[in-house]
């Protein structure tokens, strides 16, 4: 079912590639005015240009979501260009894949700053703008199924995603009086640049960490639907949340092919 976003203005952070770009393009297809974002203006502009070439409305804005002043400027760009801010997707994220003993203070802090602090700033700034407008809004925080389960080598990433999910619940309660809905979207395995690096590696007896579980066969065996998710499916879920035709706030939508229902097992 198509979710119309006609006339709404949406910011999608980290939308130069992967999930963020798919969400931005889906929103534009549904009639939204989209502000694309990256730490690189050129990369953000690539997505905006692709949207415009497809007949949509988009502008690009450079911003580092770990800096509140940048996020404030990002929200202002949406208001200046399109007159409002109706949907905020806090998607920008990063990870460091190392054994916990090898994670440095800099590794931990960078993942925390981008993933969790960036989501907080995005929600805080967008929520304030939406409250000021008086017309409500939708905030979507992109989490991961790894916000609910443990997996080796991703301690900072998993911690921030779990934090995003509880932050979402807190903000949903606090912003409800302004008719601002706050929900999280938690995808499973989708082929993106951020997640793709370990795939296809062969398992050997002397293999160093990560030592198992990252070939495509392993992932498909652990997913009841038996396949990776697609970028289009993530975009569809985000569009459902953004359209606001629901009685949902403070929820985590898992689009993971049944991974969490199945647990860390294997069908093979």
State the catalytic residues.
Answer: 157
Distance CA 22, CA 5 (A): 15
Tokens 């990002």 -> residue: 74
Instruction: Name residue, tokens 């798919």.
Output: 22
Neighbour-count burial for 147-173, b at 16+ CB within 10 Å, e otherwise: bbeeebbbbbbbbbbbbbbebbbebbe
44 and 5 in contact (C-beta within 8 Å)? no
- Placement of tokens 């199924």 in the chain: 145
* Tokens at 163, concatenated: 């934090």
Q: From CA 209, how far away is CA 220, in angstroms rounded? A: 21
What is the separation of C-alpha 128 from the centre of its chain, rounded to a whole number of angstroms? 20
Are 84 and 95 a contacting pair, CB within 8 Å? no
What's the chain's Rg over C-alpha atoms? 18
Distance CA 93, CA 90 (A): 9
């Amino acid at each position: 079912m198509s979710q119309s976003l006609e006339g709404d203005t949406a910011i999608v952070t980290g939308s130069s590639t992967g999930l963020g770009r798919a969400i931005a393009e889906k929103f534009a297809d549904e009639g939204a005015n989209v502000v694309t974002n990256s730490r690189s203006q050129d990369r953000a502009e690539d997505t905006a240009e692709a949207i415009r070439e497809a007949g949509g409305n988009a502008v690009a804005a450079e911003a580092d979501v770990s800096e509140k002043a940048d996020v404030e400027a990002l929200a202002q760009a949406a208001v200046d260009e399109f007159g409002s801010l109706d949907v905020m997707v806090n998607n920008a994220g990063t990870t460091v894949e190392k054994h916990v003993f090898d994670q440095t203070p800099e590794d931990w802090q960078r993942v925390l700053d981008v993933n969790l602090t960036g989501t907080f700033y995005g929600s805080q700034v967008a929520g304030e703008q939406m409250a000021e407008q008086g017309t409500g809004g939708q905030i979507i925080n992109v989490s991961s199924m790894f916000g609910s389960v443990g997996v080796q080598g991703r301690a900072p990433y998993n911690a921030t995603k779990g934090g995003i999910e509880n932050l979402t619940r807190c903000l949903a309660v606090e912003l409800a009086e302004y008719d601002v809905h706050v929900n999280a979207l938690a995808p499973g395995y989708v082929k993106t640049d951020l997640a793709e690096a370990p795939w296809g590696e062969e398992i050997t007896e002397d293999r160093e960490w990560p030592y198992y579980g990252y070939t495509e066969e392993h992932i498909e065996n652990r997913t009841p639907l038996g396949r990776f998710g697609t970028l289009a499916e993530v975009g569809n879920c985000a569009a459902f949340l953004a359209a606001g035709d629901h009685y949902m706030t403070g929820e985590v939508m898992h689009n993971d092919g049944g991974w969490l229902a199945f647990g860390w097992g294997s069908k093979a």
